[in-house]
Amino acid sequence: MLTLCKVLAADLPGCVILPHDTATFKQSMKSYWAQQEREAVPACVVQPRDVEQLSVTIKILKREFRQRHRNAAGAQGAGLFAIRSGGHSPVPGASSIKGGIMIDLSLFNEVTPSDDGSSVVLGTGARWRDVSRALEDKGIAVIGGRNSAVGVGGLVLGGGLSFFTPRYGPVCSNILSYEIVLASGDVVTASASTNPDLWRALKGGSNNFGIVTRFTARSFASSKIWSGFLWMPGFQAPKVLAAFHEAVNQVNMYDSHASGPMVCFSYVQQLRIQIITVNLVYTKQLEENKWPACWKNSSFGLLWRLWSTCKVRTLTSASDELNSLSPYGLRQVFATTTIKNDPATIAAAHTAYYDAITLVNCVKNMAWTFVLQPLLPKWARNGDANPMGIDDGTDEPLVIVGFTINWTEGRDDEFVKDTTRRVIEQIDAAAAANRTGHRFRYLNYCAEWQRPFESYGEENWQFLKEMSKKYDPEGLFQKGCVGGFKLDVEDGAS
């Protein structure tokens, strides 16, 4: 890899950061959210300043990929490079690579509104706080991320959930066009009128077709929103679960400005306590700092709580609050499944989380967090069509079940991963027994062992495979790029 780094440095002067560039290299590694990603040290970091330099980078990597394939048939450049937008995924290799080439897109960070305010060009390396801050003074917003530190690229390409999803659909369904560097090094546009099949594939297809550099997103008039957290003691769990089920069936069915509820049950090992947080959002500005009627009249408005942070605030403030609950530099794991909004299955999922506390209590400095949030199939029909298959086969409200877990010691990695997987499997078994499961797995919450593209449904999965064969026939992004979830395109077919 050292020779390859030297080739890149010669053709891209000033863009390659080597490990001996100690301070700059360390700073690059510290930008990852999860500690595991920081520990996967690349041979060098390539930080292109524009799309032309990124194109040169891909052409060099493609040449190396072909050479490896000729020298060792079947290997096809495995583990050659990774791509980092915001670096907020905990999946090993999602945006990092041990001993390979890491492409850092942080300089692609523009936020440029159109003259008429109907769209905004977003650089893939921008973070959502950059986006909201740039747009607030102009009185507009885009359908974007809820955590201010998350990168634009990863969230959008994984589908994307937003405070505005009940009104406008997933984030990806509101992207008018993509600028993308293909495996050939060619820079193309994908939109409804240009490469429309690629445009559709990028709406939840992750990084399987090239490197997206810019997104043109729909925008709309927006001012402040109402949002915040309710903090409750663990013994409120039965009432919170009942309030969640009721709200998903009622509040979100009738008021598209209501986002949430997102309910988090957390066991904090260091303190030996359980805490419940409920995030409520209302995206239509209120005249006063009072609860909107839809939330005030829900069961959440009646629950006793330790305190509440709910108030009228900027979108940046709302997303900063979510980010404050996700500290940097810890070891992290995600895992997810999807169920119908069935009380018995929701209770079984919470029981699986709760029963596992006795197992994970031995893990030093662990925060063991179980999250419930609604996903209504009708939301997926808003905006442009996508291949995620959320609305196939049911109109019943769905619930995304997620685990977000952090701890400090590397020795506990495999135990935490195995325990989380067993709990997810236990929840899936309960859903199967109750006939309340759903195939969809939200890519941005998946663990490394999960297969989100299969969950899109056979037809959509096959469509994505065909797009991979069409736009990356040699499989550079399937076999040479280690990051993200792959499509399992058959060897020889690509």
In a domain, residue 127? The reply is yes
Say which CATH number the domain at 31 has.
3.30.43.10
Q: What percent of the chain has pLDDT over 90?
A: 89
Q: What percent of the chain has pLDDT over 70?
A: 97
Please give the pLDDT value at position 288.
81
| Structure confidence at residue 232 as a pLDDT band (50, 70, 90) | very high
Co-location of 96 and 119 in the same domain: no
Co-location of 118 and 147 in the same domain: yes
User: Which residues, listed in sequence order, are joined to residue 259 by a DSSP beta bridge?
Assistant: 281
Co-location of 230 and 203 in the same domain: no
Co-location of 373 and 414 in the same domain: yes
Please give the pLDDT value at position 289.
82
Cα gap 300→260, rounded to integer Å:
11
| Beta strand segments in 283-413, E | 307-308, 311-313, 331-340, 367-375, 398-407
Co-location of 292 and 398 in the same domain: yes
Q: Find out whether 367 and 267 touch, Cβ atoms under 8 Å.
A: yes
CB count within 10 Å of CB 270 equals: 10
Has residue 474 got a pLDDT over 90? yes
Domain end position, chosen among 68, 83, 106? 106
Residue range of the domain that includes 243? 225-445
Please give the pLDDT value at position 392.
78
In a domain, residue 293? The reply is yes
The domain tally of the chain equals: 3
Q: Which residues 6+ apart lie within 8 Å of 454 measured at CB?
A: 439, 461
Co-location of 336 and 422 in the same domain: yes
Please give the pLDDT value at position 491.
58
| Structure confidence at residue 183 as a pLDDT band (50, 70, 90) | very high
Please give the pLDDT value at position 492.
42
Co-location of 329 and 372 in the same domain: yes
Please give the pLDDT value at position 494.
37
Query: What pLDDT digit, counting tens, does each position of 374-420 carry?
Result: 999 999 999 999 999 998 777 899 999 999 999 999 999 999 999 99
Say which CATH number the domain at 365 has.
3.40.462.20
Q: What is the per-residue DSSP string for 155-218?
A: HHHT----TTHHHH--GGGGEEEEEEE-TTS-EEEEESSSSHHHHHHTTT-TTSS-EEEEEEEE
Burial class, 2, CB count within 10 angstroms (exposed 0-12 / middle 13-18 / buried 19+)? exposed
In a domain, residue 12? The reply is yes
Co-location of 213 and 334 in the same domain: no
For the chain, what is the total number of helices (H) and then of strands (E)? 16, 19
pTM of the model: 0.95
In a domain, residue 455? The reply is no
Query: What pLDDT digit, counting tens, does each position of 238-261 carry?
Result: 999 999 999 999 855 578 999 989
Strand-strand pairing, 211-221 and 140-142: antiparallel
In a domain, residue 382? The reply is yes
Query: What pLDDT digit, counting tens, does each position of 428-458 carry?
Result: 999 999 999 999 999 999 999 999 999 999 9
Has residue 286 got a pLDDT over 50? yes
Co-location of 289 and 361 in the same domain: yes
| Structure confidence at residue 493 as a pLDDT band (50, 70, 90) | very low
Q: Find out whether 440 and 388 touch, Cβ atoms under 8 Å.
A: yes
Co-location of 320 and 231 in the same domain: yes
Co-location of 237 and 357 in the same domain: yes
